[in-house]
Amino acid sequence: MRIGVVYSETTVHAAPEVFAGQAPYQIALADFPEGRRLVRIEGTAVHIGDRVRETAPGLCAKAD
C-alpha cells in the first residue's frame, strides 16, 4: 500500500457526462515516492498536506 501527500485538490461538481451521476466527487494531485499522480478520493474529504493511501489504481483514501 502506497502512501502519498496531497499537493492540490478540488471537488468536481460539473462532471463530464460519463461521470455525471457520481458528482460531486473529489480529485487530488498527490506526491508519492514514484512521483506526482492525479487520483480520485474516496470517503472523507482531504486537504493540502493530508496523507493519503492508495486503495486501488487511481483511487486513494485519507490515511489514518
Show the domain range for 42.
3-62
How many domains, in total, are found in the chain? Answer: 1
Q: Whole-angstrom Cα distance, residue 39 to residue 46?
A: 12
pTM (predicted TM-score): 0.88
**9: helix, coil or strand?**
strand
Q: What is the CATH number of the domain that holds 20?
A: 2.40.50
pLDDT grade, residue 1 (50/70/90)?
confident
Give bridge partners of residue 28 from the DSSP assignment. Answer: 9, 39
Higher pLDDT, 27 or 64: 27
Percent of the chain with pLDDT over 70: 100
